[in-house]
Amino acid sequence: MSTETNLKAANSASLWAFFIFNFVVFNSLFFTSYYDSILNDFKLMLSARTSGVLIAPVVLFIVNGFLSSEQKAILIFWRLKNVLPGSRAFSKHGKRDPRVNMNRLGALHAPLPIDPTDQNRLWFKLYKSHREDIAILKSHKDFLLARDMTSMAFLYLILAGIPMLFFAKAPLVYYYIIFLIMQYLTLVTVGQNKGKAFVTNVLAIESTK
């Protein structure tokens, strides 16, 4: 089993907690009456409408699984080309981290690449050399969690928030949309920071070996 697969498995509890939190918020705001109905009559769980409410978040979770790693990265970094932070590892991120000895990196891997594709290729090579380091594992795990949460937050906004504009009443639906937008933007910031930290942790370790 790959390192990324193991890290995703380790993140599953946190990701499910985030998923359930959004599920509860959504249903608490727009389908409160169903909770009492379900508790009073279990058969209502089989009704088409109630089943739809229960199934919709599951569908959302499945859809999240269809997003590729690159698509999820686009949702975080807002780039269409050279989206991964490793594409700017040596030209930008490494230079801004005081832990990274750029001169040492230059001596080890001269000339340091300038092209984004080449930068990401070299960074990934360095990552593979240090991927079992505890600090690298932790930063990789954090980035994967932030990436998956960000993509899920975006899907909640698109697949749950926007449709409710046509079915729910104002101003409640507007508050919900604002909540979803703020949640997504917050996670974008977290994801960007975690991605950059993942990249620079690799460079910092490589530059001090």
State how many domains the chain has.
1
Q: Would you state the torsion angle of the CA atoms of residues 184, 190, 196, 200, taken in this order, to the nearest 10 degrees?
A: -160
Maximum CA extent, the chain: 72
**Which residue range(s) make up the domain with 108?**
3-206
CB distance 206 to 99 below 8 Å? no
CA–CA gap between residue 28 and residue 31 (Å, rounded): 6
pTM to 2 decimal places: 0.84
Q: Could you list the mean pLDDT of each consecutive 10-residue stretch along the chain, which spans 209 residues?
A: 71 83 83 58 49 56 77 94 95 95 94 96 96 94 95 91 81 92 97 97 93
Phi-psi region of 84 (alpha: psi -120 to 50; beta: other; left: phi over 0): beta
- Exposed/middle/buried for residue 9 (C-beta within 10 Å: 0-12, 13-18, 19+): exposed
CA–CA gap between residue 127 and residue 202 (Å, rounded): 6
